[in-house]
Homo-oligomer: A and B are copies of this chain.
């Protein structure tokens, strides 16, 4: 197996020109694409349809290329919100089952990516232990798919998960069910949080038995160091993409991670870049959140009390700027809302590098 990654700038959520060019040039084989992770220019919140738009055009395109349904073949994970310098783009992940070398010859682990998805998360399960467990099972499936046995070799787990909308809430209430929250914006946080805890459970970072419904989006001492979850109106199940290093994979790419302790943790970014060991940064993937304490380094911030701009938008702008300033490139993946993803106020950051 060999995994490769292509970062493609986009001129709009529907722009496929860059992708088409790489296919024509023979760099991307559409049959080998297993996931497309993108940043689109919506608000990244409840009424952001740029994610759905992008997925729609990508799906149609790949279906026209592959002449079959791609829902179960390609995992499309769009994260809305290119605040500040963040630049809209697609990260296309390909996997060829034929590597450059045999496993026996390999001395170094190489980038390996696996995918999986859960069943539909019913609106009444969203943000609750049911979602945690469904995600945990799917993460383990994706690890297997990536040829990774040791959780230590997992460096980033990207999950796209659903959210509650007014009609979905109405539906549940009509059958006398209950939802975790009736605030649609807040439901995005619950879904992200439950998904992240699912990752932590799958990787042994947390025991599932120690978690209860009440912990989700409340007990932030529980978190995963590698989970990155993102909620969108356009899907009803969770899509999981596991990134790690494996001897089963060949090629010159590898991935490492660090944890940003807060939104301005330049040191964590620098430590991650030092792991390059001479290799070139290909892509950075990170999570951002406004510190729920209302303070960063002891100073009051106003992100949580801004009724004009949602705090996820503020946080992406900051973390995007901090990372871009050190990496030297604003075309990176920074996604908002880091509930149970890294410590409270911080978040995981991973980088894919290319050797020599």
A147 close to chain B: CB less than 8 A:
no
Write the nearest CB–CB distance from A272 to chain B, whole angstroms.
14
- The answer to whether A88 touches B302 (Cβ under 8 A) is yes
Q: Which residues of B contact A183 (CB under 8 A)?
A: 183, 186
Q: Given that A166-B294, A299-B329, A331-B299 are known contacts, is A85 also in contact with B49, CB under 8 Å in the complex?
A: no
Q: Which residues of B contact A318 (CB under 8 A)?
A: 84-85, 317-318, 320-321
* CA of A183 to CA of B294, assembled, Å: 12
Count residues of chain A with CB under 8 A from any CB of chain B.
Answer: 71
- The answer to whether B330 touches A321 (Cβ under 8 A) is no
Interface-located stretch among A8-16, A65-73, A113-121, A199-207: A8-16
- The answer to whether B52 touches A330 (Cβ under 8 A) is no
Q: Given that A301-B84, A317-B84 are known contacts, is A294 also in contact with B47, CB under 8 Å in the complex?
A: no
A208 close to chain B: CB less than 8 A:
no
Q: Which residues of B contact A309 (CB under 8 A)?
A: 83, 308-309, 313
- The answer to whether A49 touches B60 (Cβ under 8 A) is no
Given contacts A14-B52, A49-B49, A314-B317, 15 further A-B contacts (CB under 8 A): A12-B52, A13-B52, A42-B47, A43-B307, A47-B306, A53-B53, A84-B315, A85-B303, A167-B294, A264-B330, A296-B330, A297-B330, A299-B330, A318-B321, A319-B321
8 pairs across A/B with beta carbons < 8 Å? Answer: A52-B53, A87-B299, A167-B300, A264-B330, A299-B329, A318-B320, A319-B321, A325-B325
